[in-house]
Amino acid sequence: MTLLRAEGLTRHYPLPRTRVLGPRPRLTAIENASFTISAGETLGVVGESGSGKSTLARLVMAFEKPDAGSVAFDGKDLHSLSRPDLRRLRPEFQMIFQDPYGSLDPRRTVGWSLGEPLRAMGADEGCKIADSLVQVGLHAEDATKFPHEFSGGQRQRIAIARAIITRPQLLVADEAVSALDVSVRAQILNLLMDLQEELGLAMLFISHDMAVVAALCDTLMVLKSGNVLEQGNAAAILNAPQHEYTQSLLTAAGTP
Amino acid sequence: MIKLDTLSVTFAAGSALRDISLKIAPGDRLGIVGESGSGKSLLASCLMGMAPDAATLSGTLTIDGVDMSDADEETWRPLRARRVAMIFQEPMSALNPLRRVGDTVAEPLRLHFGLSRDEAAKRVAELFAEVDLPNPERRARMFPHELSGGQRQRVLIALALACDPALLIADEPTTALDANVALQVTDLLVDLSEKRGMALVLISHDLASVARSTERVAVMYGGDIVERGGTDDVLHAPQHPYTRGLLAARPDPQAALRDEQGKRKRLPTIPGNVPPLSGLAQGCRFAGRCALERPDCATARPVPHGPRMLLCPVVEGAA
């Protein structure tokens, strides 16, 4: 069952004028990207910086509007919903970022940060915070601690706990394991796989590292300077990349 | 050329490096692999004579036959840059945002070699060409923010090369770069080391780049070198339980994704976390996370054995 359907997503950003009265040149961040994600399935998006990966995530999360194209979540067009309607739908799709320290308030306890999405949707906190912490491999008591008391891997677990506390159907992860050490990264990837099976999560997983994407993703989309170079079954692309650029990403992720 | 003998560094919280011995000969390319908190960057600062003030040091460091263990700043200054140079992870924060990159690179040339402004500018252009920066004269007049991440790192490599160092220490030089650019920068470092006969110490948590660019490798965990040897040997046939775990935890892009039941395959992991300095075991640092652990591992300090100087009494070291 298709949970998310993006069609012809295009987003330009205006650049500064090069001549005083000239037109403003445009940067094409993403051009005509279409894809679907079903429940329990993971779409990997790979590309170098500037390839449009994060713009894609922002469009899917409805943080900004596309210049053309649409994103339908569970049949509802996210970008034509009214603000209150969009707000009501937000608990259904959540995001985790690269730097967990930057996305947790250093002066609030972990429990407070975890409760924020619940308060925003007017839900009862109940024992959800403790449950959520346990689910990501931490302890219920950790809710009273502050972010600096945790290691990088543990902080990323907290960010994941916050993302799943609203019981979303879709998780968008933007370079979520890029800042982690190899052994910690493996733990977090396994955690994401566990949660996906447990909760039937659909995932949009953004990374520059082919090896990481290979471990997690069912389908794959390769981006370069805003253009979709190839997309399809992950194993097929990894075993027989059609594009030189995809091949170079694979080489860069090469096994030692 | 550079010889480090039983270097130990201790902080108030605990010991951060234990009995590290290393030899670096001219033209050597050595990789130091380890995760956050393994002590690899601290080791690099010790090689530059820049250990933090709060640390207590023991052991000896010899550079070109001169004992530098108790050397003061005056003795170190001419050695830094001219004998040993270093590049860091984040090229943006290592460059002065208000200075043209050419001026930054010219500074050591004018300071150490007394070159005139014009001579220095000419040398900067040569250095920029050597690190494959396109259009060197134009790049030299640019400010750091006008360059891409890979170009900035090339500027820093040029800066490090300015005084013809015999050894270049690169501390996570490619972590902040895109995968493709990272490859180019690593290849450039190897190229420069070969052309100049310059020794290279590459500190990284990225096993792929170490495999690609070094001849020997030392694996660090919790302030110990747990295993060392030829890069290919160690990475293809790891012996220490930590090295094995680390290599297994890397996802393989070509491996099958799912098992027979159609469930996604989990990656092998090393259980637990790297403990804080104060929580490291007195014996083997890896105790508590190790699959092969024996009861006395946490208390008995392992003795390096075999050709790999393996720091594990349980594993029989083979060649």
Q: Which of A150, A180, A183, A210 to mutate to test the interface with B (most CBs of B within 10 A)?
A: A183
From CA B287, how far away is CA B294, in angstroms rounded?
9
Are A183 and B211 within 8 A, CB to CB?
A: no
Closest chain B C-alpha to A191 CA, distance in angstroms: 9
From CA A237, how far away is CA A33, in angstroms rounded?
17
In 3D space, the residue among A205, A181, A209 whose CA is nearest the CA of residue A192 turns out to be A205
Any idea where the domains of chain A sit in the sequence? 2-252
A residues 138-167 near B, CB within 8 Å?
151-154
Helix (H, G, I), strand (E, B) or coil at B124: helix
**Paired sense of beta strands A219-224 and A42-46, if any:** parallel
Residue B35 in contact with partner chain A when CB distance is under 8 A: yes
pLDDT tier at A255, thresholds 50, 70, 90: low
Per-residue b or e along B239-268, where b marks 16 or more CB atoms closer than 10 Å to that residue's CB: bbbbbbbbbbbbbebeeebeeeeeebeebe
Which chain A residues contact residue B149 at CB under 8 A? Answer: 49
Note whether B142 and B152 are within 8 A (CB).
Answer: no
Least confident of B15-19, B102-106, B264-268: B264-268
Are B267 and A255 within 8 A, CB to CB?
A: no
pLDDT digits (tens, 9 = 90+) for B167-194: 999 998 888 788 788 888 999 999 999 9
Are B35 and A49 within 8 A, CB to CB?
A: no
Closest chain B C-alpha to A22 CA, distance in angstroms: 23
Residue A256 in contact with partner chain B when CB distance is under 8 A: yes
pLDDT digits (tens, 9 = 90+) for A62-116: 999 999 999 999 999 999 999 999 999 999 999 998 887 788 999 999 999 999 9
Rounded to the nearest integer, the mean pLDDT of chain A is 90
Percent of chain A with pLDDT over 70: 99
A residues 61-120 near B, CB within 8 Å?
none
Are A190 and B178 within 8 A, CB to CB?
A: no
CB-closest option in B182, B251, B274 to A211: B251
Which chain B residue has the Cα nearest residue A195? B264
Which chain B residues contact residue A189 at CB under 8 A? Answer: 251, 267
From CA A150, how far away is CA A88, in angstroms rounded?
32
Which chain A residue has the Cα nearest residue B36? A181
Distances (CA, A) of B227 to A194, B7, B19, B290, B302: 33, 16, 13, 15, 12
Closest chain A C-alpha to B234 CA, distance in angstroms: 10
In 3D space, the residue among A38, A99, A95 whose CA is nearest the CA of residue A62 turns out to be A95
From CA B186, how far away is CA B134, in angstroms rounded?
18
Which chain B residues contact residue A248 at CB under 8 A? Answer: 180
Which chain A residue has the Cα nearest residue B237? A256
Q: Residue B319: what pLDDT?
A: 44
Closest chain B C-alpha to A131 CA, distance in angstroms: 21
Which chain A residues contact residue B208 at CB under 8 A? Answer: 252-256
pLDDT tier at B143, thresholds 50, 70, 90: very high
Higher pLDDT, A173 or A124: A173
Which chain A residues contact residue B286 at CB under 8 A? Answer: none
* ipTM (interface pTM): 0.80
Q: Which of A182, A205, A225 to mutate to test the interface with B (most CBs of B within 10 A)?
A: A182
Note whether B54 and B12 are within 8 A (CB).
Answer: yes
**Edge-to-edge strands, sheet with A26-38:** A26-38, A2-14, A68-73, A76-77
Note whether B32 and B218 are within 8 A (CB).
Answer: yes
Q: How many CB pairs under 8 A join A and B?
A: 102
From CA A75, how far away is CA A169, in angstroms rounded?
13
Distances (CA, A) of B243 to A159, B29, B34, B238, B259: 29, 20, 9, 6, 26
Residue A185 in contact with partner chain B when CB distance is under 8 A: yes
Helix (H, G, I), strand (E, B) or coil at B204: strand
pLDDT digits (tens, 9 = 90+) for A163-215: 999 999 999 999 888 888 888 889 999 999 999 999 999 999 999 888 888 88
* Class of CATH domain A2-252: alpha beta
Which chain B residues contact residue A142 at CB under 8 A? Answer: none
Give B113-116's long-range contacts (Cβ < 8 A, gap of 24+). Answer: B113/B163
Burial of B185 (0-12, 13-18, 19+ CB in 10 A): buried
Residue B291 in contact with partner chain A when CB distance is under 8 A: no
